[in-house]
Structures are given as C-alpha cells and as structure tokens.
C-alpha cells in the first residue's frame, strides 16, 4: 500500500491542484507531498503519514474513497487500495457509469458461443450482447425470425404478458419475487441510474407486479445457480427421440417445457454488469 500511495503521489503535479509552483534552492521531490495530500483530505499530516505507512488499523470506506479521489486513482487502483488497507474489495464502483457497458471483446466472445444460450446485461438489465441461442429461447409468433422481445429484461420479465402467462412457468412464485427483489437491491445500490429509477416506478405502478415488488419479505441479490421452469421456444428435439413440445397458446409456435439454470459471472472491468450462460434441460 505504501508503494502504491507513494507512486500515485509522485504522478500528480501539485500545480494542477492549485498549489504554487515550487521555487528556490534545495532538492524537491516529484509530485505531491504527504502534507499536501493531508491538506486535501482535511486531516493532519501525521494522520495521513500513519495511514500511508499502514499504521491505521481500520480506515473507513469514506476515507479510502477520498484518498482515491485526491490521488486520481482509477477503478483498479482503488480496488487495490481497499484490499491493502482493509482486506476486501469496495462494495460499489467509484464511477457512477460503471456497469453500463462492457469491453467490445465481450461482445465478440458472446457472439462466438454456439450451442449454449448466453448474454450480457448491464446494471439495469439492458442487454448489451446476446448470441442467437439466447434469442431463440423467447416465444415467437409463427413465421417470425428469432429476436429479443425487448432490450430490457427486467421490464419484460415483470411487466409483459408473454413472460408472465406463457414463457416463465410459475411466474408468481418462481420468477417474480426473485426478480423483483433483485430490482429493489439494484435501485438502492445505484440511485443515480435513470433506467433503474424508471423501472422502479413502472414496476411499482403495475397492478400485477406492484404488490410483489412492494413485498420485502425476500432478500435476493443475484440468481447464480438458480434453476427455474420455463418454456424454450427454440428447443430442437434430438433426432430419434419423441417430440414433447407443446403450445402455450395459439399465437406462439410450439415450445419445450423444461428447467433453465442461470450461471452468472461479472466482467471485472464493468462492476454491476453480468454475463450469463443458461443451460436448459427439457421435461419429458
């Protein structure tokens, strides 16, 4: 931690932060001094010096975030500061826009996956990338090409008839309470996110999903490892086996009843975004 902080101090020109340019004789160290960092943090020089030496037993998250801002740390450096100082990563990213996009390489990776549905959503459940196998899972009208029903999955899962009545089996017990709890947690964690605030209002005002959303008896953050019943619209019956697909209604093509397991991971460069693989097992 001491080496990280000393290096970051050395990278910052004090003049850029409003201190006068150093003049006169004598050796001048590069970058910010400990006294200047302490002044920017509104603490004593001794307090900051002890922290930099690792002698502050339990610095607060607020103090660590202030240090990260003064020393112009990026997300990775701030994470390292937390780990060095208190032994765990920060609970939330520093950048309010974190989790709203992913590196383009992730989109290439998702598009290259074949035979297994997968996708990436941002912190507000907007789909950032999805392969064809994922698009095929959704109920489709006869003769239509496979496509996502809409970009935001939370809006579709909680508010759309196709999800509630046809696609997500046992919606009111196996899907809606868990998804609603995830949304409540995300809204609390990202109060500045406009998409989440809009979802919060839409779901709360909905006569069907609203009462479920306002029921706080379930605390739920992520679905990793969950297995839930659903209809897979694009399931292809293996050759030589009996076709068990059925219609959920006259409007949709036949689909396969089964169980989907959600395998979730997080792109480290985009805290809050999620990568999903969705293995599907048919019910016969």
Q: How far apart are CA 159 and CA 73, in angstroms?
A: 40
The radius of gyration of the chain's CA atoms, rounded to the nearest angstrom, is 25
The count of domains in the chain is: 2
Look at residue 92 and tell me if it is in a domain. no
Residue 203 covered by a domain: yes
What per-residue confidence (pLDDT) applies to 26? Answer: 47
**Residues 132 and 251 placed together within one structural domain of the fold:** yes
Q: What is the pTM of this model?
A: 0.75
Q: Position of tokens 């959600």?
A: 262
Tens place of pLDDT for every residue, the chain, 284 residues? 999 999 999 999 888 777 777 665 544 567 899 999 999 999 999 999 999 999 998 899 999 999 999 999 988 899 999 999 999 888 777 776 677 888 889 989 999 999 999 999 999 999 999 999 999 999 876 667 778 999 999 999 999 999 999 999 999 999 999 999 999 999 988 888 999 999 999 999 999 999 999 998 888 777 889 999 999 998 888 888 888 888 888 888 889 999 999 999 988 888 889 999 999 999 87
CA–CA separation, 272 and 243 (whole Å): 40
Same domain membership, residue 134 and residue 21: no
Residues 55 and 26 in one domain: yes
Residue-wise DSSP of 35-93? HHHHHHHTS-HHHHHHHHTT--SS--HHHHHHHHHHTT--HHHHHHHHHHHHSS--SS-
Tell me what pLDDT residue 97 has.
67
The CATH code of the domain that includes 247 is 3.30.450
User: Quick one: 27 and 110 in the same domain?
Assistant: no
What does each C-alpha distance from 119 to 42, 100, 163 come to in angstroms? 45, 14, 18
Q: What is the DSSP string of 190-213?
A: -TT-HHHHHHHHHHHH-TTHHHHH
Residues for the chain: how many in total? Answer: 284
| Pair 45, 108 in one domain | no
Q: Assess whether 124 and 55 both reside in one domain.
A: no
Residues 81, 114, single domain; the answer is no
Cα–Cα distance between 172 and 165 in angstroms, integer? 10
Residue 95 lies in a domain: no
* Same-domain status, 147 and 201: yes
Q: Does 165 lie in the same domain as 271? A: yes
CB 78 within 8 A of CB 68: yes
Same domain? 174 vs 262: yes
Q: CA-to-CA distance for 125 and 43, rounded, in angstroms?
A: 41
Residue 163, domain member (yes or no): yes
The domain of 14 spans 2-86
The CATH number of the domain holding residue 34 is 1.10.260.40
CA distance 284 to 280: 13
């Amino acid at each position: 931690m001491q080496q990280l902080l000393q290096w970051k101090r050395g990278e910052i020109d004090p003049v850029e932060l409003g201190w006068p340019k150093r003049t006169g004789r004598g050796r001048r160290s590069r970058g910010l001094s400990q006294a200047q960092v302490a002044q920017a943090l509104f603490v004593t020089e001794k307090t900051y010096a002890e922290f930099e030496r690792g002698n502050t037993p339990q610095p607060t998250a607020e103090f660590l975030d202030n240090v990260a801002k003064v020393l112009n740390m990026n997300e990775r450096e701030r994470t390292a500061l937390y780990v060095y100082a208190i032994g765990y990563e920060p609970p939330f990213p520093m950048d309010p826009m974190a989790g709203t996009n992913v590196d383009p390489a992730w989109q290439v990776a998702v598009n290259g996956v074949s035979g297994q549905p997968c996708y990436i959503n941002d912190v507000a459940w907007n789909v950032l990338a999805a392969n064809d196998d994922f698009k095929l899972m959704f109920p489709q009208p006869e003769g239509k090409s496979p496509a996502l029903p809409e970009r935001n999955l939370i809006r579709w899962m909680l508010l759309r008839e196709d999800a509630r009545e046809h696609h997500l089996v046992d919606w009111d017990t196996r899907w809606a309470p868990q998804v609603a709890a995830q949304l409540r947690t995300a809204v609390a964690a990202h109060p500045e996110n406009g998409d989440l605030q809009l979802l919060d209002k839409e779901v709360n005002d909905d006569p069907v999903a609203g009462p479920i959303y306002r029921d706080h008896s379930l605390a739920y953050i992520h679905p990793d490892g969950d297995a839930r019943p659903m209809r897979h619209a694009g399931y292809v019956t293996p050759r030589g086996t009996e076709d068990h697909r059925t219609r959920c209604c006259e409007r949709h093509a036949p689909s396969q009843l089964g169980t989907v397991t959600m395998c979730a991971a997080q792109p480290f460069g985009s805290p809050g975004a999620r990568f999903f693989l969705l293995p599907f097992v048919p019910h016969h």
